[in-house]
Structure 1
Amino acid sequence: MASRHSRPPYRQPGVAQEMGRATAHLHEHAATVSLPEFDRPVWDAETILLKGHALTDPAAQGQMGPEGTAALRKVAELITPALQEGGQDDRGRIHGDLHRGNMIAMSGGGIGVIDFDDCGTGHFLLDIATVLSSVHRIAQKEPGAYEKFARAFLASYTQVRPMPTNWARLLEPYLLLRDAFILNFVTTAAPVNADVASWGPRRIAGIVANMQAYGEGRPCPGTLAAEQS
């Protein structure tokens, strides 16, 4: 971990554990430190799915195509009940965009967290799913690499604080909610940002394909084998 601003090398021994502990410490701090005013977004099924850009803006639907829009609507219908589960202890202030690029390897060891632009209120599983989804995208081609990372990450999270209620069953819906969050971002940014436009259509196509597969009964990528039932 030589570079202060480098992404954590997830394959290195101990890094998954450090990322898990950093995520848990972030949530523990958020859950125990009182703020008098916190006017930030609520990241839930209504905000991301039902009222999200991808399902409310015709231009976004044009980018996804009719089949992609239909797939997203079906996913929203299927997972919204699960996303409404959980009690007060399962929700609080979350990072909102805790992908691997927003977790940095510190020069003195450990993991730092940056970019709180999307900080808001939501289920802690959304942050957890965001980390796991971002690692799955780069680790999926190496057999066993993602599951090894995910198991170590989750085990280390629980060393700091308990996992949210029914996390094993709810992880998959939150992985899909993260994908919907990405669809909202890409369909908003691609028309005005050349960089996003260069990779956005491929990302949209990949997410739509995964959502179509989920609608047909296949598991969402990033779901752990023992947690699919």
Structure 2
Amino acid sequence: MLDRVHDVARAATRAYGLPGAEVTLVNVSENATYRVDDPDTGLRSVLRVHRLGYHTTPEILSELAWLEALREEAGVRTPRVIPAPDGSRVLTVPGAEPRDCVMFEFLPGTEPSGEHPVPGFERLGALTARMHRHARGWSRPAGFTRFHWDHEAALGAGSRWGRWQDGPGMDAEARTLLGRLDTELRTRLRRFGRGPERYGLIHADLRSANLLVAGDGPPAVIDFDDCGFGWYLYDLAAAVSFVEHRPEVPDLLDAWTRGYRTVLDLPAGDAAEIWTFVMFRRLLLVAWIGTHTGAEIAAELGSGYTEGTCELAERYLSGTLG
């Protein structure tokens, strides 16, 4: 499969007018991401080859519209889209299985190191609030369409990343415990509601892998592929993806909240449900690991992540988490 995707990437660079460019695979998750180095100009860019069936072309164009609006209207550093020679922002490479591709500028910066995570999370909270403030007031263009990250889409019968029940290392005891967790999450999320002050357009994957730090300013935000409609607090939960069990996480959540409140209000009643969203995301990631065994982090975490989720679920259900 990766050989076929690499052939698509080479075809895309030729279509972008870069026939001699070197194409290097950087990451595979939902999509395949490549670094593109053009020896003729010395310029570097990033090419995303989209996974089949995950997004329609109008959905990708909607993602790019918000990414660009955040940069131009809210001052959030995001990568510019490099259009194809015909002006298209999404280039479709023909073939037996046509694939959509997008070329982005290469932004300078590195993933946050985690050496001083609390100040970084305070800055991230403020940055996230700026994104949410923009989303609340933005007049979305005609035809804008993105999916939702509500309970049904994440954990329901049509769950986007598969069933958590099929996660790695899932036995009868774990299935029973996590079933209780799922029921409690559904109840609390229904009670929390989807009012416009709590639910709207979000990035949905603001973990360190999708941030680039350069200097002392706020980080750049990349990879809006999962952006859609969801609870605003889901962006906080996504920021602690895969490390929810670590002892420093309560301090990180507090730091994010402090930073967020420098830009937008976060009522105490909303903040009281932060761990609900952390556990919602965690259970969703159990499903993701089960259906993305080819991803490096999924292979690394495996059944241990399910076991850790069970430990957190026990504490959450007993009221001792947080």
Instruction: Calculate the TM-score normalised by the size of structure 1.
Output: 0.78
Task: Quote the residue 1:123 is aligned against.
Answer: 231
How far residue 130 of structure 1 moved from its aligned partner, in angstroms, is: 2.2
How far residue 137 of structure 1 moved from its aligned partner, in angstroms, is: 4.8
**Which has more strand, going by share of residues?**
2
Task: Quote the residue 1:226 is aligned against.
Answer: none
> Deviations for 1:46-72, whole angstroms, at most 9, x for unmatched residues?
2222233225x6xx1574222222222
C-alpha distance 12-171 of structure 1, shift in aligned 2 (>3 A): closer
C-alpha distance 90-133 of structure 1, shift in aligned 2 (>3 A): same
Task: Quote the residue 1:209 is aligned against.
Answer: 311
Task: Quote the residue 2:147 is aligned against.
Answer: 41
Q: Which of 163, 182, 185 does residue 54 from structure 1 map onto?
A: 163
Please give the root-mean-square deviation of Cα atoms over the aligned residues, in Å.
2.6
Q: Does 1:188 align with 2:291?
A: yes
SS for the counterpart of 1:43 is coil
Say whether the 8 Å CA contact 1:97–1:119 is kept in structure 2: yes
> Deviations for 1:57-110, whole angstroms, at most 9, x for unmatched residues?
6xx157422222222211111121221223122110111122232222124622
**Which has more helix, going by share of residues?**
1
C-alpha distance 194-150 of structure 1, shift in aligned 2 (>3 A): closer
Task: Quote the residue 1:99 is aligned against.
Answer: 207
Say whether the 8 Å CA contact 1:16–1:152 is kept in structure 2: yes
Identity %: 24
> 2:301 and 2:243 mapped to 1: Cα distance?
18
How far residue 20 of structure 1 moved from its aligned partner, in angstroms, is: 1.2
Task: Quote the residue 2:12 is aligned against.
Answer: none
Say whether the 8 Å CA contact 1:8–1:103 is kept in structure 2: no
Q: Which runs of 5+ in 1 are unaligned?
A: 224-229
SS for the counterpart of 2:303 is helix
- What is the identity, as a one-letter code, of the residue corresponding to 2:171? G
Q: Which of 57, 78, 99 does residue 184 from structure 2 map onto?
A: 78
Say whether the 8 Å CA contact 1:125–1:171 is kept in structure 2: yes
Q: Does 1:149 align with 2:266?
A: no
In our comparison, the structure showing a higher alpha carbon Rg is 2
Q: Which runs of 5+ in 2 are unaligned?
A: 1-107
Say whether the 8 Å CA contact 1:75–1:211 is kept in structure 2: yes
Task: Quote the residue 2:196 is aligned against.
Answer: 88
Moved over 6 A (4+): none
- What is the identity, as a one-letter code, of the residue corresponding to 1:114? I
Say whether the 8 Å CA contact 1:213–1:219 is kept in structure 2: yes
Instruction: Calculate the TM-score normalised by the size of structure 2.
Output: 0.58
C-alpha distance 72-10 of structure 1, shift in aligned 2 (>3 A): same
SS for the counterpart of 1:89 is coil
How far residue 164 of structure 1 moved from its aligned partner, in angstroms, is: 5.8
> Deviations for 1:168-199, whole angstroms, at most 9, x for unmatched residues?
32112111101112112101112x44652232
